[in-house]
């Protein structure tokens, strides 16, 4: 269960150098954001599971691995805003971080007030883009709060990636979603292979079909997929 932070906002900083910059801790205190720190990737993932932060500050280079690997693991489970801090001012590193699912990427050192401004901007975007908690149509009922899916009244277990994919379809009934659009909606990047989209669509179809003997995801040959919810018979 998420522990209440100051004003309900909590930041997780992952990396030895993330919060060392002068004034950052004081800036966080003034912004009423509780700070949780982890020195490495594994410790950071444990803190992510336990603390459920509202925003993550992630060093690109960690003492026990690559920060982008930690980012990939976080993105499998959550859309929490992530700010990546890079050691070098190189476009390639920034592009990799953003394509890997980061909401923002800056080069260290960064001043405390600028850090807070970027955190506040990410939190505002997250609030403004927050989708409905429950999606309900004639075929499925998805509850994002409990991560629960019912298909025609029968509960079906989905992985986090499958859940995000079905939510992407259910929010856009009748729309054709191409592979690139699904990569962006489900994984937050466009650098994965099309085969990965096909694989997860097949997983999703199998689970929906097993529950209701009907497939609401149609293949639009050469373009992508379309979701058309409908009742059996």
Looking at the structure, tell me whether residues 99 and 55 fall in a common domain. yes
CATH number at 161 reads 1.10.10.10
- Domain termination residue (choose one: 128, 143, 159): 128
Among the listed residues 13, 12, 14, 123, the one whose alpha carbon sits nearest the alpha carbon of residue 67: 14
The model's pTM is 0.56
Domain boundary among 86, 112, 128: 128
Residue finishing a domain among 84, 106, 128: 128
Q: Is residue 233 one of the residues assigned to a domain?
A: no
pLDDT digits (tens, 9 = 90+) for 136-166: 887 889 998 888 999 988 899 988 889 989 9
Q: Counting Cβ atoms within 10 Å, is residue 141 exposed (0-12), middle (13-18) or buried (19+)? A: middle
Question: What tens digit of pLDDT does each residue of 79-89 get?
Answer: 789 999 988 77
Domain coverage including residue 96: 6-128
* pLDDT of residue 67 exceeding 50: yes
Residues of the chain with pLDDT > 90, as a percent, come to 22
What 3-state class would DSSP assign to 192?
A: coil
Asked, for residue 1, whether it belongs to a domain, the answer is no
Within this chain, do residues 21 and 121 fall inside the same structural domain, yes or no? Answer: yes
pLDDT 10s digits, 90-137: 778 888 888 888 888 888 877 778 888 888 888 877 765 556 688 888
The answer to whether residue 232 is domain-embedded is no
Number of domain units in the chain: 2
Q: What are phi and psi of 150, to 5 degrees?
A: -120, 130
Say yes or no: 114 and 154 in one domain: no
- Is residue 190 located within the same domain as residue 102? no
């Amino acid at each position: 269960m998420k522990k209440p932070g100051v004003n309900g906002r909590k930041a997780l900083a992952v990396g030895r150098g993330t919060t060392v910059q002068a004034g950052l801790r004081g800036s966080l205190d003034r912004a009423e954001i509780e700070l949780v720190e982890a020195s490495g990737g594994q410790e950071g993932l444990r803190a992510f599971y336990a603390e459920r932060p509202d925003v993550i500050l992630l060093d690109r280079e960690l003492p026990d691995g690559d920060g982008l690997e930690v980012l990939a693991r976080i993105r499998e489970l959550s859309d929490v805003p992530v700010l990546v801090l890079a050691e070098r001012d190189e476009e390639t590193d920034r592009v990799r971080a953003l394509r890997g699912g980061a909401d923002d990427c800056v080069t260290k050192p960064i001043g405390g007030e600028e850090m807070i401004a970027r955190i506040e901007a990410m939190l505002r975007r997250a609030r403004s883009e927050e989708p409905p908690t429950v999606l309900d149509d004639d075929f499925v009922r998805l509850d994002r709060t409990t991560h629960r899916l019912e298909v025609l009244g029968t509960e079906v277990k989905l992985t986090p990636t499958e859940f995000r994919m079905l939510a992407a379809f259910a929010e856009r009934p009748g729309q054709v979603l191409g592979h690139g659009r699904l990569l962006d909606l489900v994984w937050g990047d466009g650098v994965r292979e099309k085969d990965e989209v096909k694989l997860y669509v097949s997983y999703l179809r199998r689970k929906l079909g097993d529950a209701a003997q009907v497939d609401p995801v149609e293949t639009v040959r050469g373009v992508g997929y379309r979701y058309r919810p409908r009742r059996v018979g």
